[in-house]
Chains A and B, each alone.
Chain A
Amino acid sequence: MYRSPGVTIKPQRLPVLSIALVSATALAYEVLLMRLYSIIQWHHFAYMMISLALLGFGASGALLTILQRPLLQRFAASYIINIALFGISTVACFLLAQRLPFNAEEVLWDPRQYLWLTGTYLLLAVPFFFAANAIGLALTHYRLRLARIYAADLLGAGLGSICILLLLFFVLPMQALMLLGLTAIAAAFLASRELQYPWRTTVVWLALATACLLVIPAEWRTLEMSPYKGLAQTLRVKDTRIISELSSPLGLLSVVESPAIPLRHAPGLSLNARTEPPAQLGVFTDGDGLSVITRYNGDRQTLAYMDQLTSALPYHMHAINRVLILGAGGGSDVLQALYQDATTIDAVELNPQFARLVSNDHADFAGHLYQAPGVSLHTGEARSFTASSAGDYDLIQVSLLDAFSASASGQYSLSENHLYTTEALGEMLQKLAPGGMLSITRWVKLPPRDTLKLFATAVTALRDSGAQHPERQLVLIRGWQTSTLLVNNEPFTEEQIERLKTFTAARSFDAAYHPGIGEKEGNYYNRLRNDWFHDAAVALLGDDPGAFLDQYKFNLHPASDDQPYFFHFFRWQTLPEILRLHNQGGATLAEAGYLVLVATLVQAIMASLILILLPIWLYQRYINPARYTTSRARLIGYFLLLGLAFLFIEIAFIQKLLLFLHHPLYAIAVVLSSFLVFSGLGSAWFGQTAADNRGRLIIMAISGIVIIGMTYLFMLGPLLQQFTAAPDGVRILVSVIVIAPLAFCMGIPFPSGLAQLADFAPGLIPWAWAINGCASVISAIVATLLAIHFGFTLVIAIALVMYALSLWMFPVPCEE
């Protein structure tokens, strides 16, 4: 329809700008979808839906293989139309998909949920399909100069990764969606200019496409949050309303006021408490995980309820002056410290917008908490702040920020957490004054999981720090709802243990462990059939903790910085038992996040095989049995290995540099953009080299990847250590310098393989594109699974092996 009869189109130059813009928009869209689905659904399902949707890239390879001749005959029109459709579908498909009534918790009983889930996959795959069509068409059409196209693709993606993170600080996710739709249409316009397509046709059709987006009624452009998320539930209460929203890549913060029926958030409050919390504003992150800003008018008595929480224990053990609070959120733990007469309080909050809510937007309500004498607010990552602080704290408190229901159903099992690792606890212990305590409060879950894993982590951290008698440095108490673990950097005194007993008895809490605890001492106020908390603590401190860990039906092995999956409790051997019990409520034992990840992998592999590779194979076998001069096994092997290995390294480096860059967003932005930009440069450089040098070049590139990668495996830690205290700019620069040579080399193998195909089997280029697309999806899932079980170091090692193997699979001409 874009093609005017009689018009001859002769592209004068490569459409690199439009390719870069499409690629930037597609990557930005992927990041944005993750944000949008984390808000309307839950994080782990968002991950599954978007992983599957990315198979749209692979499906595009199938289409291009089958329809490449007619599409290439009308290249300019096909290219522009695909970009325009990408723009329209980014908005339209999300708006449709979010209206599908998928409810993750009903999957157990209601087969229709699978239908909604499949519908979501298919709808979300459409935009990626069109974007990939445009790029794939360009790669095939300009096959003799494809390295430059691929370089533009990578450079654009690098740009997109930074732009979307910046954009999400300034606009709400739904506004960002509209902007991406319009950007893609702008890319279509740019493409038409690059390809010198007739003005009038272009303007008419693209104006129509733009109008399609702009006429969408405002009520359709609102987020349809699951009615079962905390925010949606709270808003059902009379007169409750959202009074402000702040959005960033770290989450959508919704501040909720409930004047008629107060929120009264005080998890873990003793049953003996006689006072209720004062007025509060609720702050939901992505519609869940309630944190509160509590009204404080300077009257300490209004905070009396804070002495009735398990987390108040450390203040009763000895005088506490200097406190470090990690994860300050709405400031509840800061208020508790003020109530308990702490004189110096350092409060660390990762999300600057959250800090702003308390210190600025609602400062009057919060009683100017963060401006109170002795209180200092620090915006940044907790580990980094701890490492760079002067230390000497009497108490380091790690706040309870996650919601019970999310934690209990295993939604965090895919989330890395660098606060609950052995190394993190070890660093915190070093920052304590003599006799200082680390305090961590967790939800009480049955059967116990995180409380015990934390206990096991503390035991390991103490042993690693050289403690001879860790059993004398730990106490654990529990109520019916929360538990609090104290880790002392010196043995607890008998007097302190007496104080603990007084504290727990007055509040109907139980001691699960303290030095010298008797077998029958706990389990009085909060009775369990078996005191698993006590039994596990004793076993973990005993002679053979390994035997206990092996016998426990959940994974309680301490998390480490290399395997930072604290919330991964799932064990395969427990699954059959849980499945048998699912009718009685056993499903909550299943730790859904991990199973969702496995289900995602299975679906991605099946979908790759059935929807993409099978049609291509059938087409080439029966419909167009063209003779190609390369082995298909080599072709599949080469592009599969590259697709897997590239993302393995990228994902592992994000994790490896996360602590170094002191912020997850810096890590994602710096690592992603550096890899994409320098790979793009590598690809562009490859495009300049002569074809007869290709063999030598690929050997050099892959040798480079393996040698640099091996060096980093051993040297990266010590190297980064030299710069941990350096300013942000220096650390970012160091990261870029570290990534640059590796990424540059990683940009060469893919265009090399395509260039080989262009020489002697150009019809297979879309096939390579499809395989690479599928491999990229599978790669992200497999990398996470490998990291959960074996750590990120192994992920890098495997990636290097795959790169080495790819050299052996490099496509060369042969007789079929």
Chain B
Amino acid sequence: MPHRYSLSWLLAALLPLAATPVLGDDYTQARQHLLSEIERDAQDTSLYLDREALDPRVMAVIGRVPRHEFVPANQRSNAYRNRPLPIGHGQTISQPYIVALMTDLIEPQPDHRVLEIGTGSGYQAAVLAELTGQVYSIEIIEELGEQASKRLARLGYDNVSVRLGDGYYGWEEHAPFDTIVVTAAASHVPPPLVAQLKPGGRMVIPVGSRFLTQQLVLIEKQQDGQLITRQLLPVRFVPLTGGHD
């Protein structure tokens, strides 16, 4: 067979693969499918997480925020799959189910002031921006921070401020915060962040590797300043055979 034929045969075979599962700019169907997947996952885990279902406001926002804008071009076809995706620089955009769960756990309110440590692609900040008053986000990797800042501005998230640098000391000028989300890996919870959390405030930390979240830690600061953590598995799994939730 002449080479030109074999080449066109190869292209014809590969192109449909590149085009699936999303066609054109219409992500509505994929987004709906993602939402129902998250709902199902959340239902499975509901008893375990002490909630019947995820907050409808959170679900609505997950259905609204254009995740495809936050992933590299070569990952757009996967943007609405319920999986973490690489975004370059050794970083990832979290699995949508985990983003929804973390957002739900901090119980965001429209008047909340939120601090995020680890902007990454900016997706979590965008979700928070839709649910709270003001989001302050700090990114340690310059290129990522700059890209996220531009992206968030382009998409109209003007209640998100991104700063480059060290997140260890929080953002003193805007403290205290109702909520702190720590998505950057840290060997411990920085004492300055604890100090910048309002009494009654919540801090959430996903623990695990870049792709797989092993457990979620929710830190609640009581009105008297005492700190209580709740350690949660994102899955409904009881370690004893025949054990109960």
Residues of A within 8 A of B (CB): 103, 105-106, 108-109, 227-228, 232-233, 236-238, 260-262, 264-269, 271-276, 290, 404-405, 408-409, 444-448, 480-481, 508, 524-530, 532, 550-554, 573, 577-578, 581, 583-589
Contact = CB atoms under 8 A, between A and B. Distances in A.
A586 B235 contact: yes
A290 B185 CA distance: 13
Interface of B: 37, 41, 44-45, 48, 50, 78, 81-83, 86, 89-90, 95, 97-98, 140-142, 165-166, 168, 185, 187-191, 194, 207-215, 217, 219, 226-243, 245
A577 B41 contact: no
Nearest to A237: B140
A236 B245 CA distance: 41
Contacts of B236: 581, 584
A508 B217 CA distance: 14
Nearest to A571: B241
B41 A264 contact: no
Contacts of A530: 238, 243
Nearest 3 pairs of A and B residues by beta carbon: A227-B90, A269-B188, A447-B239
B189 A264 contact: no
Nearest to A240: B140
Given A588-B208, A588-B214, A525 B235 contact: no
The SS class assigned to the B binding surface is loop
Contact of A446 (B95, B189, B231): B231
Contacts of A236: 89-90, 140-141
B41 A583 contact: yes
A631 B21 CA distance: 55
A266 B188 contact: yes
Contact of B90 (A233, A260, A265, A532): A233
B188 to A, nearest CB: 4
Contacts of A264: 168, 187-188, 190
9 contacts: A233-B185, A264-B168, A276-B190, A409-B209, A528-B230, A553-B238, A584-B234, A587-B212, A588-B208
Nearest to A232: B90
B87 to A, nearest CB: 11
B166 to A, nearest CB: 5
Contacts of B191: 273-276
A409 B230 CA distance: 21
A583 B82 contact: yes
A550 B82 CA distance: 34
Contacts of A408: 207-209, 214
Contacts of B207: 404, 408, 481
A446 to B, nearest CB: 5
A408 B206 CA distance: 13
B209 A552 contact: no
Given A228-B209, A447-B237, A553-B240, A584 B45 contact: yes
A445 B239 contact: no
Most buried by B among A265, A268, A480, A532: A480
Most buried by B among A233, A271, A273, A525: A271
Given A409-B212, A508-B226, 14 more contacts: A105-B210, A237-B140, A237-B141, A273-B191, A446-B231, A480-B217, A481-B188, A508-B229, A526-B231, A552-B239, A552-B241, A581-B236, A583-B37, A584-B235
Given A267-B188, A583-B82, A528 B231 contact: yes
B227 A525 contact: yes
Most buried by B among A109, A261, A290: A109
A494 to B, nearest CB: 27
A238 B189 CA distance: 21
A532 B215 CA distance: 15
B231 A585 contact: no
Given A105-B209, A266-B188, A585 B240 contact: no
Contacts of B44: 581, 584
A444 B83 CA distance: 25
A65 B168 CA distance: 65
Contacts of B235: 581, 584-586, 589
B151 to A, nearest CB: 19
Contacts of B140: 236-238, 261
A508 B191 CA distance: 14
Contacts of A551: 240-243
Contact of A553 (B214, B234, B239): B239
B211 A267 contact: no
A767 to B, nearest CB: 37
